[in-house]
Amino acid sequence: MRNPSKLIVGHQEFKVAELTNNQLVYDFPMVLRFLEYRGKQLFGKKFRLHEADYGLIYDLVNYFIGDIDHCRAKGMDLEKGILLTGPVGCGKTALMKLMRYLVPHKPQYEVIPCRNVVFAFNHLGYKTIEDFGNKKHYCFDDLGVEPDGRHYAADCNVMGELLISRFELMQNERRITHLTTNLSASELEKRYGDRVRSRMREMFNLVAFSEDARDKRR
């Protein structure tokens, strides 16, 4: 296994952590430099981390590196996933894609648009829910923008059903699911119902951009 305290991007090396008493102690300013550099590579040179988002990024970083003390203080549970909410364009998808590179030594998750899950369902039916209810980790991206599923004559709230499967997987096999969404708690409840919403409360640590977080597309 590569040494996760030194992250290499092209010719650049970022010493994001120090190994002390067999524990990785992360250097947050260096983590920011790494994330920004990697982000530019992934999303283009206009990518930069905004100071207004540092608090949220700090929470995400601490969650992903598994800093137990920070997470406890913030009421975050490492057995649960992240529910990242915020207005359109604030950078949710980018951050969830980026965080994986900070912890290459940890189990990786795939980022899958919820729309794609529904398209797969329309094509393949309930097998899709089984397939994504597997033992991998996922981040389902942009919950709430997907259409309802329809396979032959059967309508299905695909993401709702899938989240219930993923909930069981969390309980039985400790598999983690992350989500991003623009919807508020009440909008989620309206769309997916009380059954899904109450499981979501147990499945996720809520990390929220503020309502007026900047649209990074502009």
Ligand X SMILES: Nc1ncnc2c1ncn2[C@@H]1O[C@H](COP(=O)(O)OP(=O)(O)O)[C@@H](O)[C@H]1O
Q: Is 157 in the site for Mg ion (CB under 5 A)?
A: no
62 vs 59: CA distance, rounded Å: 5
Encoded tokens for 184? 């508020």
What are the start-end ranges of the H helices in the chain? 28-43, 54-65, 68-73, 92-102, 114-124, 127-132, 158-173, 185-203
Q: Are 184 and 191 in contact (CB under 8 A)?
A: no
Part of the chain binding ligand X (CB under 6 A), chosen from 43-51, 60-68, 126-134, 153-161? 43-51
Q: Is 91 in the site for ligand X (CB under 6 A)?
A: yes
Please select the residue that binds ligand X; options are 6, 18, 25, 48, rule is CB under 6 A: 48
Partner touching 216 among ligand X, Mg ion, none, CB below 5 to 8 Å by kind: ligand X
Q: How far is the CB of 92 from Mg ion (least distance, A)?
A: 5
Please select the residue that binds ligand X; options are 14, 34, 35, 47, rule is CB under 6 A: 47
Nearest to 53 by CA among 41, 80, 35: 35
Binding positions for Mg ion, 127-146, rule CB under 5 A:
142
Please select the residue that binds Mg ion; options are 33, 36, 77, 93, rule is CB under 5 A: 93
40 vs 5: CA distance, rounded Å: 21
Q: Is 93 in the site for ligand X (CB under 6 A)?
A: yes
Q: State the first-to-last Cα distance of the chain, in angstroms, to the nearest integer.
A: 40
Part of the chain binding ligand X (CB under 6 A), chosen from 65-73, 92-100, 163-171, 197-205? 92-100
- In the DSSP assignment, the letter for residue 108 is P
Name the residues that contact Mg ion, by CB under 5 A. Answer: 92-93, 142
Binding site for ligand X (CB under 6 A): 43, 46-50, 86, 88-94, 180, 216-217
